[in-house]
Amino acid sequence: MATSTVRQKSTKPSDRKPLVQFALGTTKAAGGTILGITMLASSVVAGGLVGLAISFRNLPDVRVLRNFVPTETSYIYDIKGKLLDSLHGEHNREVIKLDEVSPELKRAVLAIEDSHFYLHDGINPNSIGRALLVNMKRGAVVEGGSTITMQLVKNLFLSRQRTVSRKLAEAVLAIRVEQIFTKDQVLEMYLNNIYWGHNSYGAETAAQSYFGKSAKDLNLAESSMMAGLIQAPEDYSPFIDYKETKRRQSLVLQRMQGLGWITAKQAEDAKKAKLLINQPTAWKTSELPYITEAVVAELQQRFGEDAVLKGGMRVQTTVDYNFQKMAEENVARAHQRLIARGLYADQVALVAVDPRTHYVKAMVGGVNYKKSQFNRAIQSLRQPGSAFKPFVYYAAFASGRYTPYSTIEDKEVKYRDGSIYYEPQNYGGNFAGTVSLRTAIVTSLNIPAVKIGQAIGIDKVIEICRTLGIESPLDPVISLPLGSIGVTPMEMAGAYATFASNGWHSTPTVIARVTDSSGNVLLDNTPKPKLVLDPWATASLTGTLKGVLQGGGTAPAAAIGRPAAGKTGTTTSERDVWFVGYVPQLSVSVWIGNDNYRPLGRGVTGGGYAAPIWRGFMREALRNEPVKYFPAPSKFPRPKA
């Protein structure tokens, strides 16, 4: 981008830039004489315009360009650097340095737009004189005679209105710009700001849009085509009229040949070369929409919409493209199997979180994004049912008053809640009598969970949930231990990830790092885990939840052949069914339900329907992961009551 360096005009040809040497070295002697006269005339006209400048006291101060940062497209990548999406408003632009533009493109643009660019001081009297004659004959401003510098200031500072006063202002500003910036700086700003059609601003974005390659890699045929578009990008666009595109390309090549910048053979070869036109990229859809939309929401919350759409951010997500695609395919196949089983389920959502970092590894917000863009993984509050119970039992173990082998009476009980009585029921309506807390968890008894919640205190349970990152509203009602409130699959996966890490917690995120286009760090989400849970209580809970996946538990269908823990969830009337489980490397929540809250069907449970989906995903996700074990409670001191 432009800096505040003041251009020092050299009196020696050897001091000029290579591009200047190229231009001068290929100009014939007669042409050199004309250029000399042009430079002299330029000085005379420039002197006259300095006097006119007094009449333009309200013109912008071109020195603001020293710190000018054009609006720039933001890009979202997966954890390995694969581009997932681009974010921009009206201006789709990626800013690059002048040396990142191919020499062929620079020469082609100069040839057709301003072949004397490196020889004038912002205006070209010959071009202006020619334009004045044409305009006088036509009785209107139909030809501009603008230099590249004049085009730059017009695009940045002035209106598009064709008037004599605007042209004079354009000339004055162009002279001012060239008094402050070097020629290369002006050309760099021009190439980064010019519009190339189809919402593509700047050489880099245009090259990617038309040819799927960087501006530095453009050949002569591609460069001459792009240079031909500048005057009327949409009219000459290859997407609209390829013949007109080739006609404009031919004019550019003829001009380059006439200037001696290319040979006749080079011009002919470029004309004959087949242009492999890409598809416009400005409004290309996201590769992973569930991920990128979550990223955008978090970015806008932190930085604001303008910064996201115009700030040129480079966003590295926590998600691997292939892993996310695998998760989406798993969910789609699982949904088809549910339909084949006769289940009336519109949607399935899945979230996977790495317990070691709390980085989101996969997020599937529904079975088909094209049909429904609602992201149920982070936007839908659904009752977790018995999958909420581990929060209650952790609170009990952390209190020091209970162990997994403490006993409790599973029998009829009533609680007064205001003017009514609340009477919890077990699934199936039976009572188990005296049972251990471990048995109550493994067999998912409701009455013991409610009793423990009352004994520990509902407020304490809510406090634990907040510690684990659950931010959804939690009312302190008696039925809270049975998951009677709404939470998201993301919240459940993130909370269970802290159980999987034996109490170490970081804020779950889908963003690993954000920089600006220059590499300056704007956001660094490097994990900073804190021990937020009691290790003994957490290890005791995990040891108990391992039993859920074993024979006699509520989800033997979730067994994956390695140590794993988890909990089923089934709500009243079977509107929501869940399985949330984990190994040391991965915590995953699976939810099944209907957007209109229609019941799934009598007898549908998390263990029978959600657990198999969890198992199928985990087996594929952990295929290349070593077997790891959870720590035993005996390694940690038990908390005191």
Q: Which residues are catalytically annotated?
A: 113, 386
In what helix (H) or strand (E) does residue 512 lie, and over which residues does it extend?
A: strand 511-515
In this structure, the dihedral spanned by the alpha carbons of residues 101, 104, 105 and 106, taken in order and rounded to 10 degrees, is 80
Give the Å distances, CA to CA, from 210 to 191, 207, 461: 16, 5, 57
Could you tell me if 211 and 278 are in contact, meaning their C-beta atoms sit under 8 angstroms apart?
yes
- For the four alpha carbons of 31, 37, 41 and 44, in that order, the dihedral sign comes to positive
> What's the rounded Cα separation, in Å, for the pair 348 and 334?
8
CB 585 within 8 A of CB 625: yes
Interstrand relation of 511-515 and 314-317 (parallel, antiparallel or unpaired): antiparallel
Cα 441 off chain centre by:
40
Handedness of CA 48, 52, 58, 59 (dihedral sign): negative
Alpha helices per DSSP H over 139-288: 148-157, 164-180, 183-193, 203-211, 220-229, 242-258, 264-272
Q: What tokens appear for 447 in the block?
A: 């009455």
- The C-alpha R_g of the chain, in whole angstroms, comes to 34
Q: CA-CA distances (angstroms) from residue 37 to 34, 115, 126, 127, 577?
A: 5, 15, 10, 13, 84
The closest alpha carbon to 311, from 302, 323, 324, 322, belongs to 302
d(CA 327, CA 142): 59
